[in-house]
Structure 1
């Protein structure tokens, strides 16, 4: 621990990274409570704590990334306003809980925080804290050790306070029984179908009826935003292999390949570091120059590293920088490595001090021209064909935009044609129009505001190119009666037919509430079929499931009966028996699973209630 304490307070303490904190932190920690250097506008003030616009922007991006993973990256399907509200609310909640933790004196000591960092698996090798692993990702960012410790203290205070609430929710056996009932309740169902065609023949509706039904149920006639659109698609495959590869082009491609191989060759880097932690920069520079002079006079580099280097992870291995990657020590260090090339550099200054660098590139075994000829030929040909395609698309795009017409594409490329699609929504599965880039422009503000010009070219995910021209835009909202009158009439007839059918069996339904099932069945001609035994979400049609699990459990010998409406059909749903699983009959594993499920639900509910209480007492503006 002492070695770690020295390390964190030394030269590495100037550039600390908190990547390993991300799994521990609640969303947004890395920006909201960082170094306090934000100068942006204020999105919200929570008591005396400001949440900046930048904080909110970062949190919105975090939320968007989570939701995008659920919709395969299709941003057009996201509710942007909801995401923004949820992101801001999460930052407000976090601020309130952290402030409350401070009031309650919930905190960790420096020693506890240092121990926690040293125990992070990502910073250990074979179960022991590794300075090398620590260095690999702590070198080139700008958080101080003080900021790191402050963030850890704050984050864990929040974690402790949240856990005190969520981990102490009480759950009884009755609670578990209720959850068990919901999950495992078995209902024996009998169904009887009543076709509505005969009843529809009895229904008469007037325009007044249609208007009244529409006014009462207008929300049933909502529509999503939709467009009627023409579009044309051009594919790279249309151009085939129209080019040939010259010897000069192959020679140029091979030369570039050789240069790339040499550039990507690994370099073995050794360095001697003289820090400015305990001395002035001028003193560090002089010492580094003295050491360089000794090496030039014949002193072995490894011996010099062991004697003088202040990099504890490399001094005893000849100054070797393990897994060197560009950027680890900064641009000046990288330039010195590139220039060294089997030589030893003069002292180079970086943010960590002064480095004397030895760099030895590995030997590169470059394949011969003949062995690479076939591959290079295919690559050059692919590039030339792609260039032809790009040039053609650019030329066609200029024609489409200038002429505000799609047929200029079909006039030049006779094998393509203009397609038409109507009522295209964000949920449309058309292989072209469902592309996120296309949908973003189809439903842009310009189109909503009346733009009906031909679009510029849009590249699809598969490499094809599409142009479109919106013919009509249908705004989201309730459709006017004139547009949906036929649909309103159809639904009204269905409803009236259903009401007539239900009225005809009303006496039977009432008798099921009072008499044994067999007595009712003998009294009426209604025929029921045994559908089987079902639990929730077990494959029943949604309307039937809702009806079946909405009625109470029947008394012995009786049925609980109701009806469900399906297209052109009324279904009489009868529940003959209900069987619940006993908590004692559940396996220990299942019982524990239900216990944790409900504890988690109730704990989160308690945390939400507590946060809402803090909101009611806070000054938020």
Structure 2
């Protein structure tokens, strides 16, 4: 049972689950949150456009997911690769939607309307609420027909993808194989051979180094790196002038606070909407003007809204636009709200029709000066300290840029020291050089082009300031032979020492293939220690695990021997026995879970193949 749990929780389970989740990139409901006009075309798939806006949204979605994996350090992400993956997913999605439509996988308007009506967020007291629905449509900037169209697409997409991913065939042999991968147990004995003595007699020629480098040059790739001098100044290093808060400063801060409270006060917005549906624009404008005249003649706004407004979500509430947010009805509507000042506006034209608008700023209960004094004192003090620090940094920056040197700072700020770091990469773990803003400067295009001047001040995420001066830039790629030579030579020495050690035990390895284990052990003086019984991913060193689980299953009474190379050591790995799990011993629940995992993996592969087939038949440009 515990072995089975390890299978589900282990590397294989994680890999399969990750693959199992891939179809969600195709079958998500992202399109429900679209809206707005396309500003450009990223791709055209069978004459259906994927807009730049859609690509930007998908790229951001991918980027946000990867940022979580790298703890928010965007410099570690390859934006070109992420953008390509995002575009590929949108192309696949478009192709699958089109294929679902071609196959007639769809819902009727009535079915979709029923689905919408059953959404709890659109219900009041268990019943569909038209006002909630209209507020939702406004919040996503869509019409009812647009939402229905998107739901129809997404449903067709989901039905097609699940039909593929949920119906892949899995046989008992498949279940046995996947169970074996993680649950197979091997009883291991290990013997260690130190390589130091063998290395003493190893000779490596220049020709061997050159030949090895040519054959294995891919082993000597290097990341882009820099050699850099840097210096950090913190706020604590800068002498603070008198930052005591005066009464005048505190009063000004309170006045600003009061003004901000009033400016940010919520505004109650009401409107009466006259649409252009079933009437000409001129008729709509005339009706709006007539309603406005009635209000000016004494008719209440609420009564006019109830009688004439065609916004069903607000006409019964006096015309109140619940949760008004700028942008919902367009710029002309928002401009009128900002200028209304309690007056009823003349009819305003938007894409929805003509609006008569009333807006009232709600009263603000501003805390007293005494209630805010402590908080404002702290804020003003913090601001003054920040200004002193900013002024000091600006002065120091002029010195650095003028002298093209960092030590001028340490002459002014005695506790600041110039430090040096070599072979700094994007992955270097250094509290200063790993800061995203610093890394952006270290690996900027200017540095790559040869800029070796001292930088301007760089603001770090923690509020400290750093200056850098790059001494050398080493481009990514394969190390030249003269740089790689020490590593090549060491690799050759290790290889030759390993081969020499293995040659000495060649007879023993051969005997273990033909003799019972006890007889072979008695013949040879090599001692083995019992390491224990292991499954995959159970704590063995990677090299030993690979060797152990690649060795053939030994016959009864015999051992299967192989070797594994570790730094300065050759490990002789002996497999004494192999116990494979019996699928029949798994419970029905365990078997079903294994089947679901493997079915998900196969279904994902089928979906990818299907998308590639559709792509091969499509017109994509």
Bucket of the pairwise TM-score, normalised by the shorter protein: 0.7 to 0.9
In the other structure, the counterpart of 2:157 is 158
2 CA distance for matches of 1:580 and 1:126?
58
Matching of residue 420 in structure 1 with residue 416 in structure 2: no
> CA-to-partner distance for each residue in 1:220-252, whole Å, 9 max, x for gaps?
222211110011122223336532222221111
Residue of structure 2 equivalent to 1:7: none
Report the CA distance shift for 1:84/1:508 in structure 2 as closer, same or farther (over 3 A).
same
Q: Which moved more, 1:184-193 or 1:363-372?
A: 363-372
Q: Report the equivalent of 1:612.
A: 612
C-alpha separation between the residues in 2 aligned to 1:183 and 1:548?
Answer: 13
Q: Post-superposition shift, 1:531? A: 1.0
The match for 1:86 is: 85
Cα offsets for 1:108-138 (capped at 9, x unmatched): 3333333334444543445543333333343
Partner residue in 2 for 1:133: 132
Aligned to 1:480: 480
- Aligned partner of 1:105 in structure 2 is 104
- Cα deviation, residue 376, structure 1: 0.9
Q: State whether residues 28 and 55 of structure 1, in contact with CA within 8 Å, keep that contact through their aligned partners in structure 2.
A: no
Equivalent residue, structure 2, for 1:397: 397
Structural mapping, 1:52-201, within 5 Å: 56=55, 58-139=57-138, 143-201=142-200
Residue 342 and residue 36 in structure 1: after superposition, are their counterparts in 2 closer, same or farther (change >3 A)? closer
Change (3 A) 1:249 1:137: farther
1: distance between equivalents of 2:424 and 2:344?
67
Partners of 1:341 and 1:452 lie apart in 2 by 58
Alpha-carbon distance between aligned partners in 1 of 2:264 and 2:62, rounded to the nearest angstrom:
37
Aligned-partner SS, 2:153? helix
Equivalent residues, number: 598
- Kindly report which structure 2 residues correspond to 1:87-486, keeping only aligned pairs within 5 A, or say none: 87-139=86-138, 143-239=142-238, 241-242=240-241, 243-292=243-292, 294-295=294-295, 299-334=299-334, 336-337=336-337, 347-486=347-486
The CA deviation at 1:321 is 3.2
Between the aligned partners of 2:297 and 2:211, the Cα distance in structure 1 is: 103
Shift of 1:547: 0.9
Quote the RMSD (CA, aligned, Å). 3.2
Return the offset for 1:337.
4.7
Q: Deviations over 1:371-416 (max 9, x none)?
A: 2222111111211221222233333334323432222322332221
Shift of 1:47: 4.8
- Determine the C-alpha separation between the residues in 2 that align with 1:58 and 1:561: 55
Give the conservation status (yes or no) of the 8 Å contact 2:27–2:158.
no
Q: In structure 2, do the counterparts of structure 1 residues 524 and 217 end up closer, same or farther at CA, with 3 Å as the change threshold?
A: same
Deviation (angstroms), 1:441: 2.2
Asked if 1 retains the 8 angstrom alpha-carbon contact of 2:305 and 2:319, the reply is yes
Question: Secondary structure of the residue that 2:520 maps to in structure 1?
Answer: helix
Q: Using the alignment, how far apart are the partners of 2:172 and 2:380 within structure 1?
A: 72
Aligned partners of 2:46 and 2:618 also within 8 Å: yes
Q: Is the 8 A contact 2:332 2:349 kept in 1?
A: yes
- Contact persistence 1:271–1:358 (CA under 8 A): yes
CA contact (8 A) 1:140 1:330 kept: no
Using a 3 Å threshold, how does the CA distance of structure 1 residues 616 and 489 change in structure 2: closer, same or farther? Answer: same
Deviates more, 1:250-259 or 1:439-448: 439-448
Sort the Cα spacing of 1:225 and 1:24 in 2 relative to 1 into closer, same or farther, 3 A: closer
Retained in 2: the 8 A contact 1:185–1:536?
A: yes
Equivalent-residue separation in structure 1 for 2:128 and 2:240 (angstroms): 58
Measure, in 1, the Cα distance between the counterparts of 2:290 and 2:46. 57
Residues 26-80 of structure 1: CA deviation (Å, up to 9, x unaligned): 3898689989965746x65545455566655554444333322322232221233
Relative to structure 1, the CA distance from residue 417 to residue 82 in structure 2 (aligned partners, 3 Å threshold; closer, same or farther) is same
1:329–1:350 contact (8 Å) kept in structure 2: yes
Deviations 1:153-189 (Å, cap 9, x if unpaired)? 3333333222222121011222112111112222111
Deviations 1:274-312 (A, max 9, x none): 333344445445544554555555555544443343332
The alpha-carbon distance between structure 1 residues 331 and 452, as it changes in their structure 2 partners (threshold 3 A), is same
TM-score (norm 1): 0.86
Q: Please state how far the C-alpha of 1:266 moved relative to its aligned partner.
A: 3.5
Cα 1:86/1:331, change in 2 over 3 Å: closer
Name the TM-score, length of structure 2 as normaliser: 0.86
Q: CA deviation at 1:539?
A: 1.2
Aligned to 1:490: 490
**Secondary structure of the corresponding residue to residue 530 of structure 2:** strand
- In 2, the alpha carbon distance for the partners of 1:327 and 1:94 equals 30
User: How far is the alpha carbon of 1:432 from its aligned partner?
Assistant: 1.0
Matched position secondary structure for 1:365: coil
Range that drifts further, 258-267 or 25-34: 25-34
> Is residue 273–residue 353 contact of structure 2 (8 Å, CA) maintained in 1?
yes
SS of corresponding position for 2:182? helix
Q: 1:129 to 1:459 in 2, by over 3 A?
A: farther
Q: Deviations over 1:449-505 (max 9, x none)?
A: 222122222211112222211101112222223223333222222211111111111
Alignment CA distance shift 1:520-1:166 (3 Å):
same
Per the alignment, in what secondary structure is the counterpart of residue 254 of structure 2? Answer: helix
Could you tell me which residue of structure 2 aligns to residue 499 of structure 1? Answer: 499
Contact 2:26 2:92 in 1 (8 A): no
Greater Cα shift, 175-184 or 400-409:
400-409
In structure 2, the gaps of 5 or more residues are 1-22
In structure 2, the CA distance between the partners of 1:144 and 1:24, relative to structure 1 (3 Å rule), is: farther
Q: Unaligned regions of 5+ residues in structure 1, if any?
A: 1-22
Q: Is the 8 A contact 2:191 2:572 kept in 1?
A: yes
Contact between 2:344 and 2:358, CA under 8 Å: does it hold in 1?
Answer: yes
> Could you tell which deviates more after superposition, 167-176 or 290-299?
290-299
Whole-angstrom CA distance in 2 between matches of 1:317 and 1:49 = 42
Which has the higher mean CA deviation after the structures are superposed, 170-179 or 262-271? 262-271
Give the structure 1 partner of residue 522 of structure 2. 522
| 1:430 positional shift | 0.6
Aligned to 1:3: none
Give the Å deviation of 1:352: 3.3
Q: Distance in 1 between matches of 2:324 and 2:355?
A: 14
